[in-house]
Every structure is written in C-alpha cells, then in structure tokens.
Amino acid sequence: MVEVGNAALLSEVAGYYSDKLEQHGQSPRGVDWNGEEGQTLRFRELCRVIDASRPFSVTDLGCGYGALHDFLSAEGRAFDYLGVDVSGSMVEAARERLQGRGNARLLQASAPDCVNDYGIASGIFNVRFGRTDAEWQAYVERSLDELDRASRLGFSFNCLTSYSDADRMRPDLYYADPGRLFDLCKRRYSRNVALLHDYGLYEFTMLVRKQP
C-alpha cells in the first residue's frame, strides 16, 4: 500500500471518503454503509478473529471515524486501538470522537506503523472507481500483505461478493471472488483461514488466524 505507484489510487480513496464524511457526518453513511445495523453486523463478523478472553491490541485499517472502537468498547473488551486512514478528514473526525480515550491512537497513513495482535479492514476494498479488475486485485493483495505484516495473531477483512445478483451489481464497485481470496490467504498467510458467507449481506468476511 505504500508504493509510489499507488499514490494516485490512495488519493482517490482519500478524496472519496472525505466527501462522504462531509455529506453525511460521523455515521455509517459517512463511511459509505447503508445503516448502523449492517455496520454492527459486519463488525461482529470481523471480530470473530479476536480472542477476547484476554486483553489485545488491534489495528483498524481504514478506520473512518473510529466506529470499530465504539463497537469494541460496547462489547466490554479490554484492548488498545490503532486507527489508520488515508483520509485526513476521517482521522480528524476519529480524533474528535475518541478524544480522552487513553487506549486509542490515530494515524493518517496508508499502512500501520507498528505490529499489533490483530488487524481489521472493513469496507476498504469496495469502491474501485475506474480501476480495472487487475489493478484493484493488486491493490487488495498489497493491502492484505500489510495486514499480515502488521498483525501478530491474525487479521480479518470483508469484500463485496462476486455471487451478488447481477442486476444489483454496480460498475464502480469491486465484487471479489471469495474462493480466490480464500486460496490466496491459505497459501500466503496461514493454514487457519475461515470464510464467512452466511450472514445475509452481499459480501463475505475472511478470518486469518496465526499461531502465536
């Protein structure tokens, strides 16, 4: 995600989500989700990768305004949080929202600056703008490499699914092949990979667990 050739793509991503935040404020629509119910469901699936029986640290890659921190806090979990986003507006919104929470740190960047127990990426692969399938797949794989590098115990991410209804699919969105990404994660990152595709949304979640 930090390659020079990726700068234009990341600039597009930052601009898009900064505009969404300006239009809709600190809300699910402000990070391009339809509503709070779906956002909470996604967080629940993504956080299945976490062993919450003990305190943990987590990187939220593409953190938006920090809603994952709210979710983990509401669940009563003991954690340290690093939120990373390429959008300066999103990072400022997260700083404002999480002000005074001593377990939170925010970073405007395209990649984490440290290794935490877990990494989570929610929704960062959905909007591909005018990029080809090959260009966007390469971006996805670079991002997953960063999640792997910066996570000690595992990471999770979600994608829109290529099994979506054809008449509902949009050309500006990326619909990933879950089988292809499952194979990639098994071969490149860990033997312990779970594909979740049964929670009622036009997407899937991948959990990659590592041996400590």
pTM metric for this prediction: 0.87
Q: What are phi and psi of 141, to 5 degrees?
A: -65, -40
pLDDT of residue 29: 52
How much of the chain exceeds pLDDT 90, in percent? Answer: 65
Q: Where are the domains of the chain?
A: 4-209
Give the mean model confidence (pLDDT) for residues 12-41.
66
The residue type of 6 is N
How many other C-beta atoms lie within 10 A of the C-beta of residue 11? 11
For 33-92, what is each residue's pLDDT tens digit?
565 888 899 999 999 999 989 999 999 999 998 999 999 999 999 999 999 999 888 899
Structure-token pair, residue 179: 């089988």
* 22 or 117: which leads in pLDDT: 117
The domain defined by 4-209 folds into Rossmann fold (3.40.50)
Reading the block at residue 135, the tokens are 């260009």
- Give the per-residue pLDDT at 26: 57
The first and second tokens of residue 44, run together, are 């629940």
